[in-house]
Amino acid sequence: MLSSPVWRGVPALAFRVGLLIGGVISAAVLLVAGSLLRVPLPEPVRWALIGMVLIAVLLKEMGVLRFTLPENRRLVPESVFRLGRLVGPLQFGVEMGTGARTYLPSGLPYVAAVSVLLTAPISGALLVGIGFGLGRALMTTANLRYPDDWDAQWTRYSSRLAIMLGSAFVVSLLGAAWTAPS
């Protein structure tokens, strides 16, 4: 499906815009819900919770721990394309960009979600949402344009990628904690 002609030109752009919109929607929902959770929890407790979630997810990514994270294990249905060559891919992108209606190949977005929920200001939440949407767009684009079997390569290097992505996530989270207003 992703290699069909609909994934070129304006429909592909609409899909990627939808991914960004979906990421921002998720971040906004987390920000609003988080405004209620932040009140009773002191800042050190919030950062400790984020740290615990991060450690658990990193151990899961490296295969040390085994547990399932809540997710919808079905793909966005192709019926969204009934809306045409522009609105269909846009809706598909929004639904995939929220991360709530499709499979997530990594647990790191859950750490980002908890971080937004417990600590992010409006600007930070917006950036996380855009980053999630861009990450989804990058993965989709790379999959489409990769000259070999993308999924086989992803599987082959998944443990190295998990360490690399997890390390980058830890560094960015430490930077956020370091610069957070007290």
Q: Which residues of 1-17 are buried (b: 16+ CB within 10 A; e: fewer)?
A: eeeeebeeeebbebbbb
Over residues 134-153, mean pLDDT: 84
Say how far apart CA 177 and CA 167 lie, in whole Å: 15
Kindly indicate the confidence band of residue 1, based on its pLDDT and cuts at 50, 70 and 90.
very low
Q: Which residues of 139-166 are buried (b: 16+ CB within 10 A; e: fewer)?
A: ebeeeeeeeeeeeeeeeeeeeebbeeeb
For the chain, the domain total comes to: 1
Say how far apart CA 43 and CA 45 lie, in whole Å: 5
User: Could you read off the pLDDT of 92-132 as tens digits, one per residue?
Assistant: 889 888 887 777 878 889 999 999 999 989 998 999 999 99
Helix (H, G, I), strand (E, B) or coil at 109: helix
- Predicted pLDDT of residue 143: 80
Please tell me the number of Cα atoms within 13 Å of 6 on its side-chain side. 19
Say how far apart CA 176 and CA 182 lie, in whole Å: 12
pLDDT at 5 over 50: no
**Per mean pLDDT, which range of 12-21, 31-40, 157-166 is the poorest?**
157-166
- What is residue 158's DSSP assignment? H
**Per mean pLDDT, which range of 29-38, 74-83, 114-123, 136-145 is the poorest?**
74-83
- Domain encompassing residue 155: 5-179
Cα 48 to its chain centre, rounded Å, is 21
Residue type, 153: Q
